[in-house]
Amino acid sequence: MQLVALACSDPPEGCTRWTLTLLANALLEVVEHESISRETIRRRLDDNDLKPWQRKMWCIAKIDGEYIARMEDLLDLYAEPHDSKRPVVCFDESPIQLIGEVRVPIVQKPGKRYRYDSEYKRNGTANLFVMVDANRSWRKVKVTDRRANEDFAVCMRDLVDADYPDADRVRVVMDNLSTHTASAIYQTFPAVEARRILRRLEFHYTPRHASWLNMAEIEIGVMRRQCLDRRIDNRNLLESEVQAWQRRRTDSGAKIRWMFSIEQAREKMAKSYPTPVLNESKSR
């Protein structure tokens, strides 16, 4: 079908993407019709589930032995029952802009919505460290000015000393950011203190480009929808709001119910698993 071929090709020079009008004009050059309406183009595209004006971005992960090993390690970890002596805590960070109003918003009234001006002012940025327990209703959000080595190290110290003082070892799930290392703790604290903290920590890393395996990503998404989907202009207000959200969500008993298992991964991603050099029969 000529329309489908056009919609799947590059748009004309000087255009970012195909539109209904562009497609109609381009189609007239190759078919014997005097005119074609935009509605006709829309219906034909809808019949073929095509929306050439839409684009999506995603990270293409390299699924190799390292990817599979890290993924199955995390899935195994999530499948374990809760152990208060060896809790699993997912850790991540998220930047946020502090946005202020230029004009005072108009509060909502019966029959009229809340209105705010499109113009705004930037008041800097902040960072949110987010921790969430994989097996119980507990999360912690810490607001910092940045996400440097020392900020990460202080979070890890507080995790073992203040948040889980009775745990033998806290197993931390996180991504591959350069600050997420044992060296960051040694760069922040004296060697004796750093060793003490690290003895009670066990790091588990997500595969590269696989943040979906970190429960903290889910929690950040919830926090952004429920608490941060608005303009917050200063750090003090940001801290008070995220703390109020944190308390309310924890008190409600909310926790993440992880449904994806190793067995499901092996079934759904079978074609992506590396081909083993030796099969089980040859290895015996």
Domains of the chain, with CATH numbers? 2-47 (no CATH), 65-262 (3.30.420.10)
Amino acid (1-letter code) at residue 215: M
Q: Which residues contact 151 (CB under 8 A, 6 or more apart)?
A: 127, 129, 144, 179
> Are 170 and 257 a contacting pair, CB within 8 Å?
no
Residue 27's pLDDT band, with cuts at 50, 70 and 90, is: confident
Round to whole Å and give the CA distance between 7 and 17. 9
Residue 24 has which token pair? 């109609």
pTM of the shown model = 0.79
What residue type is 216 in one-letter code?
A
Strand 88-101, strand 139-144: pairing: unpaired
Q: Say whether pLDDT at 60 is over 80.
A: no
Model pLDDT, residue 283: 56
Q: Which range (97-101, 233-237, 259-263) has the least confidence?
A: 97-101
For 126, phi then psi, to 5°, come to -145, 170
Distance CA 89, CA 74 (A): 11
Per-chain mean pLDDT for the chain: 90
Residue 134 DSSP SS3:
coil
What's the pLDDT band for 179 if we cut at 50, 70, 90? very high
- The CA–CA distances, whole Å, from 73 to 68, 79, 91, 98, 262 equal 8, 10, 16, 37, 9
- Of the listed ranges 28-37, 78-87, 189-198, the least confidently predicted one is 28-37
Q: What angle do CA 17, 20, 23 make, to 5 degrees?
A: 75
- Average pLDDT, integer, range 34-63: 80
Contact criterion met (CB below 8 Å) for 272 and 66: no
Phi, psi angle pair for 127, to nearest 5°: -125, 145
Between the two ends of the chain, the Cα-to-Cα distance in Å is 56
Q: Alpha-carbon distance 174 to 130, whole Å?
A: 11
Interhelix angle for 191-198 vs 149-158, to 10°?
60
Q: 224-249: per-residue pLDDT in tens?
A: 999 999 889 999 999 999 999 999 99
In this model, does residue 269 exceed pLDDT 90?
A: no
Question: What is the pLDDT averaged over residues 61-66?
Answer: 82
